[in-house]
Amino acid sequence: MRVLAALSGGVDSAVAAALAVEAGHDVTAVHMALSSEPQACRVGSRGCCSLEDSQDAARAAEIMGIPYYVWDLSQQFEDAVIDDFLSEYRAGHTPNPCVRCNEFVKFRELLERGLALGFDAVCTGHYAKLIHGESGPELHRGNDELKDQSYVLAVMGSEDLSHVLLPLGEAPDKAWVREQAELRGLGVSNKPDSYDICFIPDGDTGGFLERHLGSAPGDIVDTEGNVLGEHDGYYRFTIGQRKGLRIGRPSESGRPRYVLETDPSTNTVVVGESTLLSVDTITTRNLVWQSGPSELEVNQEAQVAFGATMGGRGLNEVPSEVLTAQIRAHGTPSVITSVQVVEGAGEHLVVTLAEPIRGVAPGQSLVLYRGSRVVAEGTIASSTRVGSRLAPSAAPVPA
């Protein structure tokens, strides 16, 4: 096959491209320049998309003996990822920019351009597995559970999977990947992983938001509306946050307070005790299917049996008949008791969990798995708090 390999400049994408070459594919490398100021996008091992990354990618391609190009996608990245990030925070949500980047830039833009240029597939260094099932390719968790990235790839949709190669899905761990890079002399075997949000390389998300959204002082209130303190901007807070409240006094029970909700319409941050953070029902928007609604049928007996032993089981040990939900890239999956598909102006899901979980914020991605297989993905629109006097958290879903 003619394969377009995305080279980020890191060890994962370099080894993935090398494995594609060794599998006999006709590989061309492309580095996606996502920043208009690449020299400002790395501080130590933080961030990515730097000038250093572009140079490392070019060097790796030269060692592999494959063509190498740089595509300037900085405007697409700004429009699809950064602007969306700011818009979501302005609306009081907590977005995941990596999910958005994978959806609109690293796959949609790369794949559309690649297919238009006559390539058969794109290749990336993501830790996830593609398995060819009876109905076509399926997206599964990677073998390395600590690095598994199936959560951020769930937004791709089933139609794109037939044009994707994920050679690192079978990798046992990151140490093995680094060893493969060293064996091939790719020059990036010891390069540190990037982390944090790539376009906020200093890690100061609050400062970035204030520079773009402006200062917006307002009240911190309890669930009864009593003013407890002031904040510098509601967008600096997310559900479940405890630090930075600066209230100065505990609740009547003496227990610490946590952020329960941010309300842009009143510019308030609502706080309360941790018990009010527990939710067991989540509603999504922007639904993306990896398989059909039939995969959402719940086998209650299997769910209950697995839930009783879940604490000692690995992610890839979840039985194929068990349905779970995950709300963070490397979070612990939750057993599901029911899933309702709601039709209307926007198809969405209402997911009920067997046990309450905390820290669920509008804007996060919820990914459903059957065993290790991704079934569907949606953006969290609202959640119902167990025993709370508050209304369901955040924005309503289209009827």
Pairing mode of beta strands 128-133, 136-141: antiparallel
For residue 198, indicate whether it is catalytic.
Answer: yes
CATH number (domain holding residue 24) = 3.40.50.620
Q: Is residue 266 part of a domain?
A: yes
Q: Could you tell me the pLDDT band of residue 393, with boundaries at 50, 70 and 90?
A: very low
Kindly state the percentage of the chain with pLDDT values over 70.
Answer: 91
CATH number (domain holding residue 259) = 2.30.30.280
As for how many domains the chain has, the answer is 3
Give residue for tokens 């994408």.
Answer: 13
More confident residue, 104 or 29: 29
Pair (362, 285) in one structural domain: yes
Pair (15, 92) in one structural domain: yes
Pair (259, 294) in one structural domain: no
Q: Pick the catalytic residue from 41, 49, 101, 123.
A: 101
> What's the CA gap between 255 and 273, in Å, rounded?
7
Q: Is residue 191 part of a domain?
A: no
Pair (270, 309) in one structural domain: no
The two tokens of residue 64 are 């592999």
Q: Is residue 399 part of a domain?
A: no
Q: Could you tell me the pLDDT band of residue 343, with boundaries at 50, 70 and 90?
A: confident
Residues 6+ apart with CB under 8 A from 139: 128, 129, 130, 150, 153, 154, 156, 161, 290, 373, 374
Chosen domain end from 225, 241, 275: 275
**Nearest C-alpha neighbor of 161 from the set 180, 178, 179, 136:** 136
Q: Is residue 392 part of a domain?
A: no
> What's the CA gap between 193 and 12, in Å, rounded?
9
Give residue 180's pLDDT.
97
Mean pLDDT of all residues in 364-390: 84
Give residue 61's pLDDT.
97
Pair (67, 118) in one structural domain: yes
Among 139-143, 248-252, 343-347, the minimum mean pLDDT is found in 343-347
pLDDT tens digit string along 80-138?
999 999 999 999 999 989 888 888 888 888 999 999 999 999 999 999 999 988 888 99
Chosen domain end from 183, 203, 225: 183
More confident residue, 344 or 390: 344
Residue 297 reports pLDDT greater than 60: yes
For residue 101, indicate whether it is catalytic.
Answer: yes
Mean pLDDT of all residues in 34-48: 54
CA angle (120 as vertex; 114, 122 as ends), nearest 5: 55
Pair (93, 169) in one structural domain: yes
Give residue 6's pLDDT.
95
**Do residues 256 and 236 touch, judged by C-beta distance below 8 A?**
no
Pair (37, 151) in one structural domain: yes
Domain span holding position 376:
278-385
pTM assigned to the model: 0.88
Q: Is residue 138 part of a domain?
A: yes
For residue 324, give Cα distances in angstroms to 30, 251, 302, 306, 353.
Answer: 36, 35, 12, 10, 9
Pair (294, 343) in one structural domain: yes
More confident residue, 28 or 384: 28
Residue 254 reports pLDDT greater than 90: no
Give residue 46's pLDDT.
43
What average pLDDT is seen over the chain? 87
Q: Is residue 286 part of a domain?
A: yes
More confident residue, 197 or 68: 68
CATH number (domain holding residue 326) = 2.40.30.10
Q: Is residue 398 part of a domain?
A: no
Q: Could you tell me the pLDDT band of residue 210, with boundaries at 50, 70 and 90?
A: very high
**Nearest C-alpha neighbor of 142 from the set 359, 379, 374, 390:** 374
The winner for highest mean pLDDT among 23-32, 319-328, 333-342, 378-387 is 23-32
Mean pLDDT of all residues in 320-345: 88
Pair (152, 84) in one structural domain: yes
Give residue 350's pLDDT.
93
pLDDT tens digit string along 214-251?
988 999 999 999 999 999 999 999 999 998 888 877 77
Pair (237, 123) in one structural domain: no
Residue 326 reports pLDDT greater than 70: yes
Pair (271, 283) in one structural domain: no
Mean pLDDT of all residues in 274-285: 92
Give residue 196's pLDDT.
66
Q: Pick the catalytic residue from 41, 49, 123, 198.
A: 198
Give residue 37's pLDDT.
62
> What's the CA gap between 327 and 336, in Å, rounded?
13
Mean pLDDT of all residues in 283-308: 86
Residues 6+ apart with CB under 8 A from 58: 31, 68
Pair (269, 296) in one structural domain: no
Number of CB atoms found within 10 A of residue 271's CB: 25
